[in-house]
Amino acid sequence: MSQKRNITGKVILAGAGPGDPELLTLKAARFLESADVILVDRLVSPEILLTHANPKAEIIYVGKQCGKGNSTKQLSINAMLVELASQHKLIVRLKGGDVSFFSNILDELETLIENGISYEIIPGVTAASGAGAYAGIPLTARDHSTAVRFLTYYKSEVLSEEYWRDLATTNDTIVFYMSGEATPAILSKLREHNIDPCKKIAMVAQATTPMQQVFVSDIYDVNEKLSQNFISPSLIIIGKVVNLHAKFAWVANSEQPEHYFNPIAKLGSVLSENKENAKEYAGRA
């Protein structure tokens, strides 16, 4: 039976929030200011690193993007965590949103445990909370909804017909993460099971950022081409609470939307100086 190694470095698994850099928690900011190395995901505001990162920290971009060739493999990230911790370093693994929502945290936690690496988990504001707040859509509200369901979607077969029927008939608010392009398929399944026409759908792109856009529509009258033009990340909110957007919206849609989450371009030399290090670690995985 193999023994666990006891490595004296430490890993901080921290959520960066949904986009607005001011939604970063104080605790996450404190660790960024003292970090030796920061492994940063794609959906992290560049302003967070420019404002809070230790000037001497090594910043390594390990972003993922579905279907894109420049994504960092999870095994490579795991290997980086182990090697950097073995060098007695304080590593901040900075993820977009909250670390507990659709973030592959399980793979990284298992790697840390298997290698005897000390860690802490710092929650962040998840995308659904940020999108709801900045779109003026309370996710629960008296006489509208008393519960919320968070889901992600990549193919209809993952959810049974019985579950789709439940989603169509529930009074719960439904939030689909990372599902902008799948909006037509999601709506098709909900309509198939006769979702209440009193419910509405909100499509929120780049929530809480200066590039945020919100489009609200009736369930049975959606311009489905909109979802094809949405800039990632985007999510959809479905339920009676979406009717509240018209009354409580307080952030205007961006008139010239562009990609907000582009850390390599916006950080320039800060990340390019460490690009070779990232390749070296990835090659060892």
Eight-class DSSP state of 138: -
Q: What is the rounded CA–CA span in Å between residue 217 and residue 200?
A: 6
On whether the CB atoms of residues 110 and 77 are closer than 8 A, the answer is no
Is 64 catalytic? The answer is yes
20 is catalytic: no
- Residue 190: name the closest of 218, 219, 216 by CA: 219
Among residues 10, 20, 41, 95, the one annotated as catalytic is 41
Can you tell me the distance from the alpha carbon of 216 to that of 95, in angstroms, rounded to the nearest whole number? 28
Exactly one of 27, 36, 64, 89 is catalytic; which is it? 64
Pair of tokens at residue 266? 């916006």
DSSP state of 270: H
The stretches of 35-93 forming alpha helices (DSSP H) are: 46-52, 74-86
Order of strands across the sheet that contains 213-218: 148-152, 173-177, 234-239, 200-205, 213-218
- Whether residue 173 contacts residue 237, with contact meaning beta carbons closer than 8 Å, is answered with yes
Strands (E), the chain: 7-15, 37-40, 58-61, 90-95, 117-122, 148-152, 173-177, 200-205, 213-218, 234-239
Q: Which residues are catalytic?
A: 41, 64
